[in-house]
């Protein structure tokens, strides 16, 4: 059952033309999936009790204008969003939450209110409550329904991983794909490096690019390693996985239910899929040594380097200039 979300006090400061958003609760993963499939602009579903504990991951799908929240690899919330309009496209990539401010106001756009702001870059990209017209209309930020932004703000922490993928201007359809493998036949590349001292602790994310045939390892949003990785390049699907522990205490990569792959949710990676990727042995050993439950793996078609064809995936932001959408 849908219920009003925005409080009346917000109406006095909310931009004109923004419709009152609505949310739904769910009691099970099946019910959440059913609700998520029928969301209209401004609507969301939230069910944190499905997975009450564990590491958090936020996946923003620009193609479908949705944000999905996972805890311990389980989907606990889905919302519609509005991302950057033409000329102000929201960057794709792997980010961590750098700053949180529940009562933030823009320093660039006439002191405009940005409730429950969660900064992703120092040059102005953030998650926050904002207008939801049903299409991309921001200046680069990801707008969320007010009450969903409040719920998300309450469960995230500094360093929480946020993955932004897709293309708001040219939606694509996902297909089946492949993920991290223990096969170790790939040769090192001259540009490979391993420098864990760059960021001694924090959440770990591995990004694998089919376009570049390479991978990077990020810790707390900082690139600490890069290597060649041979991946089949026969589709453009995006996959997100979370490292968990099975009943026997062994580590296992579990699929998160990104758009187009809802049936994969909670499934482990089988050996056939794992054997489709090659990583240099020494780099693989180093990367595995820093992994712990909650680590994230992203497989994407987007390139990691600016020299590749297409728009590069953002994996590290050095600009400390603070601007706002």
* Positions marked catalytic: 128, 141
- 30-to-12, 75, 174, 294 alpha-carbon distances in Å: 38, 10, 21, 23
Distance CA 140, CA 43 (A): 21
Q: How far apart are the first and last CA of the chain?
A: 33
Asked if residues 106 and 302 have their Cβ atoms less than 8 Å apart, the reply is: no
State how far the alpha carbon of 133 is from the alpha carbons of 6, 19, 42, 58, 61, in Å. 15, 8, 8, 22, 16
Please state the separation of Cα 92 from the chain's center in Å. Answer: 9
Contact between 225 and 195 (Cβ < 8 Å): yes
The closest of 240, 242, 270 to 258, measured between CA atoms, is 240
Instruction: Say whether 261 sits in a helix, a strand or coil.
Output: coil
Decide if 62 contacts 167 (C-beta within 8 A).
Answer: yes
Helix, strand or coil for residue 75?
A: strand
Q: What angle do CA 276, 202, 79 make, to 5 degrees?
A: 75
- Contact between 222 and 316 (Cβ < 8 Å): yes
């Amino acid at each position: 059952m849908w219920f009003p979300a925005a409080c009346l006090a917000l109406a006095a400061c909310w931009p004109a033309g923004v419709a009152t958003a609505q949310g739904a609760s769910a009691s099970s993963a099946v019910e959440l999936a059913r609700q998520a499939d029928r969301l209209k602009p401004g609507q969301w579903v939230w069910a944190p009790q499905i997975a009450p504990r564990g590491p958090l991951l936020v996946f923003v799908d620009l193609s479908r204008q949705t944000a999905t929240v996972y805890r311990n690899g389980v989907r606990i919330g889905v919302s519609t969003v509005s991302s950057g309009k033409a000329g102000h496209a929201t960057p794709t990539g792997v980010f961590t939450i750098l700053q949180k401010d529940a009562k933030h106001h823009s320093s660039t756009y006439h002191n405009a209110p940005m409730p429950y702001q969660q900064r992703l870059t120092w040059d102005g990209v953030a998650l926050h409550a904002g207008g939801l017209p049903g299409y991309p209309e921001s200046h680069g930020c990801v707008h969320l329904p007010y009450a969903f932004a409040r719920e998300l703000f309450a469960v995230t922490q500094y360093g929480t991983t946020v993955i932004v993928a897709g293309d708001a201007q040219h939606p694509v359809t996902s297909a089946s794909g492949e993920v991290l493998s223990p096969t170790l036949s790939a040769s090192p590349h001259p540009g490979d490096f391993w420098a864990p001292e760059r960021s001694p602790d924090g959440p770990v994310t591995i990004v694998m690019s089919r376009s570049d045939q390479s991978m990077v390892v990020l810790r707390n949003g900082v690139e600490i390693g890069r290597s060649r990785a041979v991946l089949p390049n026969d589709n453009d699907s995006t996959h997100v996985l979370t490292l968990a522990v099975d009943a026997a205490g062994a580590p296992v990569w579990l699929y998160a239910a990104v758009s187009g792959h809802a049936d994969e949710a909670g499934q482990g990676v089988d050996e056939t899929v794992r054997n489709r990727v090659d990583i240099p042995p020494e780099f693989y050993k180093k990367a595995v040594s820093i992994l712990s439950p909650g680590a994230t793996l992203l497989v994407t078609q987007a390139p990691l380097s600016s020299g590749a064809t297409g728009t590069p995936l953002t994996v590290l932001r050095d600009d400390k200039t603070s601007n706002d959408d």
